[in-house]
Amino acid sequence: MTASYDNTAIREQVRKLCAQFPGAYWRALDRQRAYPEEFVRALTEAGWLAALIPEEYGGSGLPLSAAAAILEETHHTGCNGAACHAQMYIMGTLLRHGSHEQKARYLPQIAGGELRLQAFGVTEPTSGTDTTALTTTARREGDSYIVNGQKIWTSRAEQSDLMLLLARTTAREQAEKRTEGLSVFLIDMREAKGAGLTIKPIRTMMNHATTEVFFENVRVPASQLIGEENKGFRYILSGMNAERILIAAECIGDAKWFIDRAVTYAKERVVFGRPIGQNQGVQFPIAQAYAKMRAAELMVERAASLFEAGAECGAEANMAKLMAADASWEAANACVQTHGGFGFAEDYDVERKFRETRLYQVAPISTNLILSYLAEHVLGLPRSY
Ligand SMILES: Cc1cc2nc3c(=O)[nH]c(=O)nc-3n(C[C@H](O)[C@H](O)[C@H](O)COP(=O)(O)OP(=O)(O)OC[C@H]3O[C@@H](n4cnc5c(N)ncnc54)[C@H](O)[C@@H]3O)c2cc1C
């Protein structure tokens, strides 16, 4: 793939690739809760998952808006980027905070598809959204850290070679601030599996390859620490804006898919001797969803352009995620309603996409937590938690 800043060309190429993975492909996987290996391989081989990796490390060095276009188109065609999207934003932590040796060792292999960095171990069963309350520990012992604890919702852990792990290196009571004392590690799961790391899949309402990961005295070379010890929380935070913008782009793609499907069906389906789409009761929910999707799309573009300019974009990235997730959910509802009973039939893909897009009200950050961010950091209201 040659580097190109022309998102129209990128979109066309992504659409062409995704056309090889139609609804029937995703339905079959959905029934078995199986990972879309061929789809992820095709995206990797085409270079799309390395879009944000700089050219000096074998990627295409594209800006965030190009990555957003890739993921939006993926979802617009009915495919699901959740199988691999994390590689795009997790990699940023390694890129921004990793040492020269770490970057030179891993990024070219990630860009070339020899290594997968798909797993992001932050959330824990007892801490939930309160990340600084996490209890997985990494204790220094000579040239290693010994990791003990448990993560939950670690998506793609079974399919990934590497995991970016956030663990406590200084007890919460001993840390100066609650955001201190956490560190980020790049774990080679190929070595750790069978040496204290075990993975247990979680069956979810949609096909998501998510898991619980248990660490029992897992020895991690100290050379796998990213950046400085105890500063890990801010490294993870620094990647959140990119994550939110990219997930928002996927939601825009989902919303467009739902709207396209709803419009097509509303024109074709004839009841009472006329297309159902002739009734305003059917038209208006689709038109509402369209207007909200377009507004959200503007916020995604705005957030991405601020991000690319190196400007502060926390508020815009959060609003983009909020508005885009709401727009895709509203479009999903309108699409099911438009399809009537057929909205529930597997063969139409609507119910599958409906389940898939519901996630984004909760993960990677829930709507409430975005609202409390805006209330506190943008509007200056008192901190609620
Ligand atoms: C399919 C899936 C994949 C995921 N993948 C990953 C992954 O790869 N890596 C990873 O680290 N995590 C992952 N997550 C975790 C995800 O980021 C969390 O589920 C999400 O952040 C919410 O955390 P929680 O589930 O613990 O909810 P909780 O923190 O328990 O919150 C439950 C509910 O209460 C609300 N709530 C909590 N506190 C407040 C408050 N102060 N004010 C108002 N409302 C509040 C929340 O909004 C939420 O609706 C995934 C989750 C899912 C479901």
Protein residue whose Cα sits closest to atom 19 of ligand 1:
363
359 within ligand 1 shell (Cβ under 6 A): yes
**CB contact at 8 A, 316 and 239:** no
Protein residue whose Cα sits closest to atom 22 of ligand 1:
129
Q: How far is CA 153 from the centre of its chain?
A: 12
Report phi then psi at 118, rounded to 5.
Answer: -115, -15
Q: Has residue 2 got a pLDDT over 60?
A: no
Protein residue whose Cα sits closest to atom 25 of ligand 1:
128
Question: How far does residue 367's CA lie from ligand 1's centre (Å)?
Answer: 10
Atom of ligand 1 nearest to the CA of 121: 11
Dist CA 215 CA 274 (whole Å): 61
pTM surpassing 0.95?
yes
Question: How far does residue 365's CA lie from ligand 1's centre (Å)?
Answer: 6
Q: Has residue 68 got a pLDDT over 60?
A: yes
In the block, tokens 């609804």 appear at: 23
The mean of the pLDDT values for the chain is 96
pLDDT of the residue at 4:
40
Read off the tokens for 213: 């990961």
**How does pLDDT run across 291-347, given as a tens digit for each residue?**
999 999 999 999 999 999 999 999 999 999 999 999 999 999 999 999 999 999 999
366 within ligand 1 shell (Cβ under 6 A): yes
**How does pLDDT run across 81-101, given as a tens digit for each residue?**
999 999 999 999 999 999 999
Question: How far does residue 319's CA lie from ligand 1's centre (Å)?
Answer: 17
Protein residue whose Cα sits closest to atom 48 of ligand 1:
366
Beta strands in the chain, from DSSP E residues, in sequence order: 117-121, 137-141, 144-152, 162-168, 182-188, 197-202, 210-221, 225-226, 270-271, 274-275
Dist CA 191 CA 106 (whole Å): 15
